[in-house]
């Protein structure tokens, strides 16, 4: 029988969404309009379509206005750039999000670089990445900021702890490492070429798994009492043909060793959307100059 705490991302996300809803209503009362989020979906990737619908629903519930722009899979880079430029110029749009992945004919880096950094609620623009690395205010990518919020719910102090981030993507791994460094953790970034992945995980008080390999990290890799945040969302097919979501960590093994662990689903995933709403509200306040105490979110 395990003593590990199961970190309930769904509950934390709901509570953040409620705080955003309250503040978004106050913003609307002051500004005469709702905070505005433009979401752009290109193509028919089924998972992306699900995530965008969830963002649409969550926005409406949190008094965040805006539009979803659904474009065909054949959209050219120039057409998408033209839409991004139009959204940059639209004064009712506070936040812009282009859902990833994009179809192969489109260079995602070029699209992200075209988004106005002050509307970049995904925090992917190189200017926001640079601000994060330099300790300056900007926008922080939603998934890593959500992970940090879950960690802070569980730890009063992160300073001095050993943390490993398994995965080095621009969306999760790199910004996550920067956030942990800013909290004075000792951070290792591990990846597919890391020679002693087991050793890096085994010595860590905090494990962030964001590598996209189902159950790569086994229970006996985890330091007893460590906090495990599993960002992996891998859909696997079971022998009976049904599908199931599993993380990058072997949950049933790790829960026997960890001090706290996020489940998949219901852990990090719901935080991604809640933080997107938070970032949009923050963007609306920064743009209009209407005061907001961001620490209350
Ligand atoms: N422009 C962006 N594209 C993508 C991002 C992003 O932050 N910005 N992140 C991911 C997808 N994503 C949001 O866009 C996302 C992923 C997962 C979840 C979530 O709630 N997952 C649930 C399970 C849902 C399911 O059943 O499939 C969970 O983990 O509990 C929300 C948002 C890539 N693209």
User: Residue 126: what pLDDT?
Assistant: 98
The predicted model gives 191-210 an average pLDDT of: 97
The pLDDT-based confidence of 192 (bands split at 50, 70, 90) is confident
CB-count burial class (<10 Å; 0-12, 13-18, 19+) for 267? buried
DSSP 296: G
Q: Per-residue pLDDT tens for 83-122? A: 999 999 999 999 999 999 999 999 999 999 999 999 999 9
- Is residue 55 among the annotated active site residues? yes
pLDDT, tens only, 143-171? 999 999 999 999 999 999 999 999 999 99
> Tokens at residue 70, please?
């659904």
Establish whether this prediction's ipTM goes over 0.95: yes
Residues in the chain: 297
What residues contact residue 191 under an 8 Å CB cut-off, 6+ apart? 166, 167, 168, 173, 211
Share of the chain above pLDDT 90, in %: 98
Residue 1 has pLDDT above 80, yes or no: no
pLDDT band at 2, cuts 50/70/90? confident
> What is the predicted pLDDT for the residue at 161?
98
Check if 122 is active-site.
yes
Give mean pLDDT, residues 21-40: 98
Nearest ligand 1 atom to alpha carbon 265: 30
- Ligand 1 probe mutation, 80, 176, 269, 274, most atoms within 8 A of CB: 269
Give me the numbers of helices (H) and strands (E) for the chain, helices first please: 10, 11
Handedness of CA 204, 206, 210, 213 (dihedral sign): positive
Residue nearest to atom 1 of ligand 1 (CA): 99
Is the separation of the CB atoms in 209 and 187 below 8 Å? no
Which protein residue has the closest C-alpha to ligand 1 atom 29?
Answer: 269
Q: Are 186 and 165 in contact (CB under 8 A)?
A: no
Domains delineated in the chain: 31-118 (3.40.50.10860), 142-270 (3.40.50.720)
* Mean per-residue pLDDT, 212-219: 97
Higher pLDDT, 296 or 132: 132
Pocket of ligand 1 (CB under 6 A): 50-51, 97-100, 122, 142-143, 233, 245, 264-266, 269-270, 272-273
* Catalytically annotated residue among 23, 99, 205, 248: 99
Contact 245, 265 (CB under 8 A): yes
Q: Is 245 left (phi over 0), alpha (psi -120 to 50) or beta?
A: beta
CA dihedral 252, 256, 258, 263 (to 10 degrees): 30
CA distances from residue 71 to 40, 55, 85 in whole angstroms, order as listed = 8, 17, 15
Question: Is residue 200 within 8 Å of residue 190, measured between CB atoms?
Answer: yes
Q: What is the mean pLDDT of residues 16-38?
A: 98
The residue nearest atom 16 of ligand 1, judged by CA position, is 269
The β-bridge relationship of strands 186-190 and 162-166 is parallel
Residue 3's pLDDT is 86
Instruction: With beta carbons less than 8 A apart as the criterion, state whether 145 and 116 touch.
Output: no
> For the segment 219-258, what is each residue's pLDDT rounded down to a tens digit?
999 999 999 999 999 999 999 999 999 999 999 999 999 9
**Where does the pLDDT of residue 66 fall: very low under 50, low under 70, confident under 90, or very high at 90 and above?**
confident
Strand pairing report for 243-246 and 234-237 = antiparallel
pLDDT at 113: 98
Task: Return d(Cα 240, Cα 243) in angstroms, integer.
Answer: 9
């Amino acid at each position: 029988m395990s003593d590990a705490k199961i970190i309930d991302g769904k509950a934390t996300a709901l509570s953040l969404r409620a705080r955003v809803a309250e503040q978004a209503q106050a913003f609307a009362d002051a500004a005469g309009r709702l905070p505005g989020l433009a979401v752009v979906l290109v193509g028919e990737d089924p998972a992306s379509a699900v995530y965008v619908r969830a963002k649409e629903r969550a926005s409406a519930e949190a008094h965040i206005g805006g539009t979803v722009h659904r474009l065909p899979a054949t959209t050219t880079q120039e057409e998408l750039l033209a839409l991004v430029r139009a959204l940059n110029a639209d004064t009712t749009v506070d936040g812009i999000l282009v859902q990833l992945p994009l179809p192969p004919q489109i260079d995602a880096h070029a699209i992200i670089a075209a988004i106005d950094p002050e509307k970049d609620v995904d925090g992917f623009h190189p200017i926001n990445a640079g601000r994060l690395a330099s300790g300056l205010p900007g926008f922080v990518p939603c998934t890593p900021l959500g992970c940090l919020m879950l960690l802070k719910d569980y730890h009063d102090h992160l300073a001095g702890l050993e943390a490993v981030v398994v995965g080095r993507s621009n969306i999760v791994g790199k910004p996550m490492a920067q956030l942990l460094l800013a909290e004075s953790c000792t951070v290792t970034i591990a990846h597919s070429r890391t020679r002693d992945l087991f050793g890096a995980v085994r010595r860590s008080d905090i494990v962030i798994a964001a590598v996209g390999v189902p159950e790569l990290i086994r229970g006996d890799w985890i330091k007893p009492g460590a906090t495990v945040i599993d960002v992996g969302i891998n859909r696997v097919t079971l022998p009976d043909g049904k599908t199931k979501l599993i993380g990058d960590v072997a949950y049933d093994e790790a829960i026997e060793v960890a001090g706290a662990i996020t489940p998949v689903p219901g852990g990090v995933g719901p935080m991604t959307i809640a933080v997107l709403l938070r970032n949009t509200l923050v963007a609306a306040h920064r743009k209009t100059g209407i005061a907001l105490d961001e620490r209350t979110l």
